[in-house]
Structure 1
Amino acid sequence: MIAQEQARSRQVRRRDALDRLANDDDAWVATASADGQPCLMPLSFLWDGTALLMCTRRTNPTARNVTPRGGVVVTLGHTRDVMHVEGRAEVVEGSALAAESADAFAAKLGWDPRDRQPWVYLRITPRVIRTWREENELKDRLIMAEGRWLD
């Protein structure tokens, strides 16, 4: 049996979450089509301080699913250090994205999709964030609600 560490405080979880958002490169993105067909896709991302910025082809199910509904779930980490983000997504054309954001995306991830067709950005604004490592952190895993960090 794996020994459990002491549960982290909400403040420590928030700090850890912000660190993960700033430093991780990839996440799992879950969407559903209008008829309920699920889709799970790994995508690279940039955290701009308020939203996750990702990129995919407009023809991929993830981008198609965002258009009618906007709701997504993003998961970072592994099963013993989970960050679960529920948010709203919008599709942003490469030419419509602010140059500062597009430059930061390209610098972090090593590629620039602005001039590629049919690539689009997805801007995902978190509404709810939960983090946990083990069972002892499940009770207080909520660190963001209604788009606001909890103290």
Structure 2
Amino acid sequence: MTTEQAPARDGRQRKKDVFTYLSADEDAWVSTSGAGGEPCLVPLSFVWHDGALVMSTRSANPTAVNVARDGRAVVALGHTRDVVLIDAEVESVAGDALPAAAGEAFLGKLGWDPRGRAKWVFLVFRPLAVRAWREVNELPGRRLMRDGVWLV
């Protein structure tokens, strides 16, 4: 059985597709590392706001604990045949310290509001690197951002 690949997208199209995921999707996979190096992979809902992914979880959850210690994470969007990987710096922000516009964007997109819940924090993911590809023919040129700067 032979499968045909769609022609490889150029960098501009891939970047446009990344922003489609960021604006339309509600959930992402978030990967962090524990103090002993143990991996933690969880799905979290997000909103894309002012150049960052904003998510929320309980402050005692492993993802929040790992982020508070390490400040790094990898976020995955899409599916296995249309992958977006985002390496990010992450800041943990108490609900009362989150800018109002970010909180309203979160509420508007996701329909719930963790602000004012003492056991919850917001995690603000600022992309450092973005890679996007579909099939093997898109592996070259998959890096769209490096060191927080778009390459396309």
TM-score range, shorter chain: over 0.9
Equivalent pairs counted in the alignment come to 151
Over residues 63-85 of structure 1, what are the superposed CA-to-partner deviations in whole Å (9 max), with x where a residue is unaligned?
00001111100000100000000
Residue of structure 2 in register with 1:114 after alignment: 115
The answer to whether residue 104 in structure 2 is matched with residue 103 in structure 1 is yes
The answer to whether residue 140 in structure 2 is matched with residue 139 in structure 1 is yes
Q: CA RMSD in A?
A: 0.8
Whole-Å Cα distance in 2 between the matches of residues 99 and 53 of structure 1?
Answer: 12
Residue of structure 2 in register with 1:2 after alignment: 3
Whole-Å Cα distance in 2 between the matches of residues 135 and 37 of structure 1?
Answer: 29
Ranges of 4+ aligned residues in structure 1 off by more than 4 Å: none
TM-score computed with the length of structure 1 as normaliser: 0.98
* 1:21-36 correspondence to structure 2 within 5 Å: 21-36=22-37
Whole-Å Cα distance in 1 between the matches of residues 9 and 23 of structure 2?
Answer: 20
Give 1:49 deviation, angstroms.
3.4
The answer to whether residue 89 in structure 2 is matched with residue 88 in structure 1 is yes
Specify the code of the residue in structure 1 equivalent to 2:73.
V
Query: Runs of 5+ in structure 2 lacking a partner?
Result: none
Query: Runs of 5+ in structure 1 lacking a partner?
Result: none
TM-score computed with the length of structure 2 as normaliser: 0.97
Identity between Structure 1 and Structure 2 (%): 50
Whole-Å Cα distance in 2 between the matches of residues 95 and 2 of structure 1?
Answer: 52
Over residues 86-117 of structure 1, what are the superposed CA-to-partner deviations in whole Å (9 max), with x where a residue is unaligned?
01101000000011110110110010000223
